[in-house]
Amino acid sequence: MEYDINMLQVASSQNWLEMVMGDFDSFLQDHADCERKASAMAMSFVAKFPDRVEIIPELIDIGVEELQHFKQVYKIMEKRGVHLPEGMAKDMYIKRLVNLCRSTKEERFMDRLILASLVEWRGCERFKMVADALDVDKDPDLKRFYQLLWESEARHGESFIDMALRYLPEKDVESRLAYMVEEEAKILQGLELRAALH
């Protein structure tokens, strides 16, 4: 079975894209926050599951790459005169996905890796929408950045599922992924639209 962005059941709306493009500075602030959190999430797997030695190097690589993305977004913000805010609104998309995660160690390991894949795939889809909407004549560097970013997010999404499959039975991962994909679609459709990644 192919585990990739095509697992997502619903597409993001044009209304979301219009909101982002209409307030791109706010989107950048949220995007930076998401990259910082993505780096921290990868490293939290290392801290919470130190016995999963086979995937630790890859998790560290992802953590470093996400932090590099944060740095790149921050440089874009600096160029535009946009500051990091003191506080960010709670990300209800992530909060509701986290609420799906079960509590035993093995179940939580599986669920958090699947959650990470879903978040990366949704980011991939949305960054591609942003890249396609950006005007290459007005800011070719910004367009190229988001093109490279969605490709990176797609790889990360596949990586997290691959990590789960190294330690857990494929039928269990597949079954849980199918459930969480359905729930992700419901969560996405129930979100208030804002100039943010989620």
- Please state the domain extents for the chain: 12-189
CB atoms within 10 A of CB 44: 14
Which architecture, in CATH terms, is 12-189?
Answer: Up-down Bundle (1.20)
Question: Residues 78-110: pLDDT tens digits?
Answer: 999 999 988 888 899 999 999 999 999 999 999
Q: Which residue numbers in the chain have pLDDT < 50? A: none
pTM score, whole prediction:
0.96
* Residue 142: per-residue pLDDT: 97
d(CA 112, CA 169): 16
How many CA atoms are closer than 13 Å to the CA of 46, on its beta-carbon side? 14
- Give the number of residues written for the chain: 198
